[in-house]
Amino acid sequence: MKRRITAAVISAAAAIAMSACASDDADEPGGGGATESAVASYPVTVGSLTLDKRPEKIVSLSPSATEMLFAIGAGQQVTAADDNSNYPPEAPKSELSGFQPNAEAIAAKAPDLVVLSNDTNKVVDQLTTLKIPVYLAASAVTLDDTYKQLSDLGALTGHATEAADTVRRMKDDIAKLVKDVPQRATKLTYYYELDPTLYSVTSKTFIGALFAQAGLENVADPSDADGKKGGYPQLSAEALVKSDPDLIFLADTKCCQQSLATVKARTGWAGITAVKNGSVIQLDDDIASRWGPRVVDLVRAITEAVAKVPA
pLDDT band at residue 22, thresholds of 50, 70 and 90? very low
- pLDDT tens-place string over residues 190-200: 999 999 999 99
The residues near 136 (Cβ < 8 Å, ≥ 6 apart) are 116, 117, 118, 119, 124
Q: Do the first three CATH levels of 31-176 and 183-308 match, i.e. the same topology?
A: yes
Alpha-carbon span 295 to 299, nearest angstrom? 6
The residues near 159 (Cβ < 8 Å, ≥ 6 apart) are 33, 36, 37, 40, 72, 73, 74, 153
Q: pTM of the prediction?
A: 0.87
33-42, 156-165, 219-228, 274-283: range with lowest mean pLDDT: 33-42
Calculate the dihedral angle through the C-alpha atoms of 164, 170, 173, 174, rounding to the nearest 10 degrees.
-130
- pLDDT tens-place string over residues 114-135: 999 999 999 999 999 999 999 9
Please give the pLDDT value at position 64: 98
Alpha-carbon span 14 to 289, nearest angstrom? 9
The topology under which CATH files domain 31-176 is: Rossmann fold (3.40.50)
The arithmetic mean of pLDDT across residues 78-84, rounded, is 98
- Is residue 17 pLDDT above 50, yes or no? no
The topology under which CATH files domain 183-308 is: Rossmann fold (3.40.50)
- pLDDT tens-place string over residues 256-301: 999 999 999 999 999 999 999 999 999 999 999 999 999 999 999 9
Calculate the dihedral angle through the C-alpha atoms of 87, 152, 78, 298, rounding to the nearest 10 degrees.
0
Please give the pLDDT value at position 310: 87
